[in-house]
Every structure is written in C-alpha cells, then in structure tokens.
Chain A
Amino acid sequence: MSDWASDAIIRVRDITVQFGKTRVLDGLDLDVKRGEILGFVGPSGSGKSVLTRTIIGLLPKVSGRIEVFGVDLDAASSAERRAIERRWGILFQQGALFSSLTVRQNIQFPVREYLRVSQRLLDEIMVAKLVMVGLKPEVADRYPSELSGGMVKRVALARALALDPELVFLDEPTSGLDPIGAGDFDELVRTLQRTLGLTVFMVTHDLDSLYTACDRIAVLGNGKIIAVGSIADMKASQHPWLQQYFNGKRARAVVS
C-alpha cells in the first residue's frame, strides 16, 4: 500500500474548457495524491466549479487529458466509467438531494442500485452513515424540504459516502453554514478521511477549512494553477492575489 502514497489519484493534463469564446480553463495541469485533502481556491468566477464538473464529466472539454484512478476517462468504455463512478462520491454545492425521496431513500439509493443486499443491511448502513456525518437517526424519514441548510449538506455528504468511495469531491461544503457548523464539518471531513482513507478534492472559500482540513492547497487564476503547496508555501508566495488572500485582514483574523 505504500506505493499508493506517491501515486496520483487524479491526474489532469493540459485541460482547456471554453464556453463560446470565453476560455475558462487554459492548459491546466493538476495532480491529486491518494489519501490527501486538496483544498482548491481561487477568485469567484475563476472556474473552480468548472474544473470539478469537467473532471467528473458533466462538462465537455476542448482538449487535454484526465485520468482518475489511473484510467483515461476519454478512452474508458462505459462499463469502466461506471466502475469509476461507483468509486467516487460527489457533494454538490446545493446538496442536490432527490426532493421526492426521504433522507433514508436518498442515502440508500446508490447502495440499492449497485449492491444486492438485504433491507436490514441497507437500513443499518444508512444509520451508520448518518451517525458518521453527525446526524441523529430520527431524521431518516424526513424529506429534504424539511431539513435545515446544514443538515442538507450533511445528508448530501452521507449520500456521497454511501458506497464507501475512495475519492470525494466537495463543492463548497461549508458555504452557508454557521462558523461552528462549518468547523464541525471540517473536523468531520478530517475524521472521515482518516477513518475511511479517503482522498478529498475540496473546492472552498473558507480560510478556516484551508487551515484546519487541507493537506495541500491549489490556487486557480487565469485558467491555470497559479500555485500548489502547503499553507506556509501560500503565505510565502509573492503572487498579489495570494498575498491578499492569505495575508489579508480576514486571513489574519483566522490565524490569530
């Protein structure tokens, strides 16, 4: 297992994505290593969500190459693609829970589709996932419209984790949560990453998350990765946007 540590679970090479005439990503390269939590930051509108959606195959790219678990997604057959999709979990920004299913059914949905297991095990796994994301089993029979914003995020994370994926994409997981809730969420991601050995690709704007949860940080600007490294590397960087982001007023408040 030791060779996994150095191995890149996502390898993005020379990706270009374009909407009409605007080029959003321009020859971007990025590696995500197995077992790490990569925080992905950048100014609003710089294309963070676009990159995430391109990697998971929701947006078409003009050119470039994306490998996930060592498989080139363009060359993969549909069976291979399904196998990969079963090994990753995605937390969308708004949760994207199925509104006509209860929490129970939402979490059980991917399990039911991929595995033939008894209803008893489905229920037990559902409760295990709810407890893991810090919710009480009593919410199982509520509908998404009856949940608070933070609970929606947690249920959506539980659903993303339902099949015990190796890789999880989190799109702004702490946006819209109160600072305490957001802190708990960071802690939760950390714990889950340790217990389940997850690799986490996290798009975020939350400086606290970057400090407490992330192993490495990648910064997007002008359609390229400006910098990759630890928090210390970021603060040492001379790039003006990074200077402002990591050494600005809000950043100092977080550190102190």
Chain B
Amino acid sequence: MCAAGNWTATFAPALERIVSDAEKLRGSRPHIFIDVSQVSRLDTFGAWLIERLRRSLSDTTAEAEIAGLSANYSSLVDEVSRVGTAPTADGDRVSLSTMFEQIGRTVVGIGDTVVGLVDMLGAVLAATAHVLIHPRSFRLTSTVHHLEQVCWRAVPIVVLITFLIGCIISQQGIFHFRRFGADIFVVDMLGVLVLREIGVLLVAIMVAGRSGSAYTAELGSMKMREEIDALRTMGFDPIEVLILPRMLALVLALPILAFLGAMAALYGGGLVAWLYGGVDPEAFLQRLRDAISINHFIVGLVKAPVMAAVIGIVACVEGLAVQGSAESLGQHTTSSVVKGIFFVIVMDGVFAIFFASIGI
C-alpha cells in the first residue's frame, strides 16, 4: 500500500480514519510494504499513525515494513518506533461499594475537620502564650495591616447592608403589626432582634465571606509556593508570624463591625418607622429605651469575638490544607466560607441556649 500527501497534525482526524480502514487488511497477505515515498510532509502524528499501521499489520504470520522513507524523516520514525503501548486512563468505577466508601470517607472527614480545628485552636493559644511571655515577638505592623483590611475597609459594606436589613425588618414589622394596631411594637422587635441576634450574626456571616475567604486564599497560595515551608526553615513559627496577627485582627474587628452594624440597622429601622410608619424619632427613642436593656447589647457583643475566633480558625485550617493545584485552592476557599458560616450559626445556637438557661 502507498501513503501520500501531508501526514501532519492538521489532517490527523482524516488520517486516523484512513489508517483504521487499512488495518482491515490484516492477515490478508504474508508480506506488506507501506510505501511512504509519496509523503510530502511528516510529523509525529503522521509518523505514529504509519507506525501504528505497521504494528497492527504485523503478527505471527504476516510482516509489514515501511519502505521508501526519506532520510529527513527516518530519525522521526525511529523515534516513534521506540514508543510502547499507551497506558489507558483508569476511569472511576461507580458501584454500590464505592458509594458506601464515599459516605465513610465523608464521615471520617467530618471527624478530621473537628480534630483539625481543635489542633489549630491549641496551636494559636500556645503561640499567644509565647507572645505574652516574649512580647517583643509580637507582630504589631502585620496586625495593624490586617486590622485595616478586615475592619476599616469592611465598614462601608457592613454599614450599608445592615442599614438595609434594618429598613426591611422595620417595614415588614410595621406592615404586619398595623393590622392589629400594634405599630409601636415594631420598635421592640427591631431593638431586640438587631442587638441580640441579627447585628452580630449578619456581620459574622459577611466577615466569613469577605475575610475568611481572603485568609484561606492567602495562606493557601503561600502554602502552594512553599513560602510557609521557607518561613519554618528560617526558624519562624508560621502560626505566630502569619496566623496570630490575622486572628487577633479578626477578633478585634468583629465586635467593632458588629457594633457599627447594629447602630446602622437601628438607624435604618428608625428611619423607615418614621417615614413609612409615622413613628416620629422621639417616640421611637422613648420606646427603644423602654424595650431594651444593656443586657441585650452585651449578649450581642459577647458573641462577636468568639465568632471571629471560629471564622479565623476555620479559615487558617483550610488555608494550610491547600495542596499543589489551583483547583484545591478553590475547594478550600469554598469550604472555608461554608464551614465558617455553619460554625457561626452553630455557635449562635449554643449561645442562645446558654443565655436562655441563665435567664438573660
């Protein structure tokens, strides 16, 4: 048989069809010559396809040879003839047992997550103790830098969103309470809800999305590029250098943001109550003073640093768990935010039970 024309990558799809047609001649003759003297251009694709044809035509009874090869291309054909058979990609088998295996692995993974969080909490506390004993090893510049990132720069968006949420709560409250002639109780609802729950919870969720993800991505890409290993080999503790300033910044930032958020929500609620519900500001403030006590405010703010610690620890654990690939970075950033929000809500539930049982 005779091959002619361009045997190059561009024509590979057509050439592959020609070759698989020619392979059907297998066993028809004891000796086959593949004449390639008419081939004008040859590259790896063409050379391999000719080699593949030669192999499939050769077996115990028959023999195939490549003939008429020009000197320019002989080294290429030699090169290709050294290639063995291709290992095929092992695909994922889906069966009942692999499904159970997946479930088992996920359950073990949950356990590992909890252990990882406790581990990181311990490491952070140990680093804190070390810094308390050796105050000079504390990284003030880094802490201030992170405080700017997570607190100062977060103020506009946090204030805006909580303001709008305050407006919405107030509007909905007035709309529904008006049917019972109980408009004024919207102030009680707004005050208790914002100070105890919504203010801190909403801000914590925003911070988990905004700063938790940033921490994970930063630490993760440092891990990928061996920067964390470099720190360790220079005798620095990455927990102390990287994680402690971030944690401290977060623990300081969240109460501040939660306070600002609560004020913005009350302001927004008051504004809507005035413009939409006709509750004038003096009546609003008077009612607010009666409805809430300092306890509500404290209950809200006490939760903030704890939630910040949870978000920070989750973010750092996830960041340090990043493996070498970009995909892994994405997965861990996602799970940082998801787990952060989950644990924030769990903590909120735990606090609610606690405060209910001690009667505040």
Binding site for B on A (CB under 8 A): 98-100, 104, 111, 114-118, 120-121, 123-129, 131-132, 137-138, 140-141, 143-146, 161, 163-164, 191, 194-197
A158 to chain B, nearest CB (A): 11
Known interface pairs A116-B13, A128-B48; A99-B327 also in contact (CB < 8 Å): yes
Question: Told that A131-B82, A138-B87, A141-B89 touch, could you supply 13 new A-B pairs with CB distance under 8 A?
Answer: A100-B325, A104-B89, A111-B9, A116-B13, A123-B87, A125-B48, A126-B86, A127-B86, A131-B84, A132-B44, A137-B86, A191-B79, A197-B72
Known: A115-B12, A132-B79, A138-B87. A124 touches B72 (CB 8 A): no
B209 → A minimal CB distance (Å): 24
Once the chains bind, are B12 and A121 in contact (CB under 8 Å)?
yes
A141 and B16 contact, CB distance less than 8 A: no
- 25 pairs from A and B in contact (CB 8 Å cutoff): A99-B325, A100-B326, A104-B89, A115-B9, A115-B12, A117-B12, A118-B16, A120-B86, A121-B16, A123-B88, A123-B89, A124-B83, A125-B45, A127-B85, A128-B48, A128-B83, A131-B82, A137-B87, A140-B89, A141-B87, A143-B325, A145-B324, A146-B324, A164-B43, A195-B75
Complex-state Cα separation, A10 to B9, whole angstroms: 22
Q: Chain B residues near A128: list those with CB within 8 A.
A: 44, 48, 80, 83
* Closest CB in chain A relative to B260 CB, distance in Å: 39
Please tell me if the beta carbons of B13 and A99 are within 8 angstroms of each other in the complex.
Answer: no
Most chain B C-beta atoms within 10 Å of own C-beta, residue among A114, A117, A127, A197:
A117
Inter-chain CA distance A196–B90, complex, in Å, is: 31
B76 interfacial contact with A, CB 8 Å = yes
The answer to whether B334 has its CB under 8 Å from any CB of chain A is no
> What residue of chain B has the Cβ atom nearest to residue A98's Cβ?
B326
Scoring B residues 63 to 101 as 1 if CB is less than 8 Å from chain A, else 0, what string do you get?
000000000100110011011111111100000000000
Q: Which of B311-336 contact A (CB under 8 A)?
A: 323-328
Measured CB to CB, the closest approach of chain B to A87, in angstroms, equals 10
Q: Contact residues of B with A, CB < 8 Å?
A: 8-10, 12-13, 16, 43-45, 48-49, 52, 72, 75-76, 79-80, 82-90, 323-328
Quote the shortest CB–CB distance from B56 to chain A (angstroms): 12
Task: State the CA gap A114–B75 with chains docked (Å).
Answer: 26
Residue of A nearest to B76 (CB): A195
Contact (Cβ within 8 A) A125 B44:
yes
Cα-based distance from A141 to B326 in the complex (angstroms): 17
Total contacts A to B, CB within 8 angstroms? 89
- CB neighbours (8 Å) of B16 from chain A are 117-118, 121
Query: Do residues A145 and B9 form an inter-chain contact, with CB atoms below 8 A?
Result: no
Residues in B with CB closer than 8 Å to A163 are 9
Which chain B residues border A164 with CB–CB below 8 Å? 8-9, 43-45
Bound-state CA distance A251–B84 (Å) is 41
Question: With A115-B13, A164-B45 in contact, is A137–B84 under 8 Å at CB?
Answer: yes
Query: Which of B49, B84, B323 contacts A127, CB < 8 Å?
Result: B84
CA distance A54 to B44 in the complex (A): 29
Inter-chain contact B83/A127, CB cutoff 8 Å: yes
Given the complex of chains A and B, what is the CA–CA distance between A223 and B45 in angstroms?
40
Which of chain A's residues has its CB closest to B82's CB?
A131
Q: Considering residues A120, A124, A144, A163, which has the most beta carbons from chain B within 10 angstroms of its beta carbon? A: A124
Chain A min CB distance to B332 (Å): 13
- Chain A's nearest CB lies how many Å from the CB of B258? 38
Cα(A174)–Cα(B9), bound, Å: 28
Which B residues lie within 8 Å of A127 (CB)? Answer: 83-87
Q: Which residues of B contact A194 (CB under 8 A)?
A: 75
* Contacting pair B89 A99 (CB below 8 A): no
Q: Which residues of B contact A123 (CB under 8 A)?
A: 86-89
Q: Which residue of B lies closest to A127 (CB)?
A: B86
Collect the chain B residues with CB atoms within 8 Å of residue A141's CB: 87, 89-90
Docked CA distance A195–B43 (Å): 9
Alpha-carbon gap, A114 to B9, bound state (A): 9
Which residues of chain B are within 8 angstroms of A195 by Cβ–Cβ distance? 75-76, 79
Q: Are A145 and B325 in contact (CB under 8 A)?
A: yes
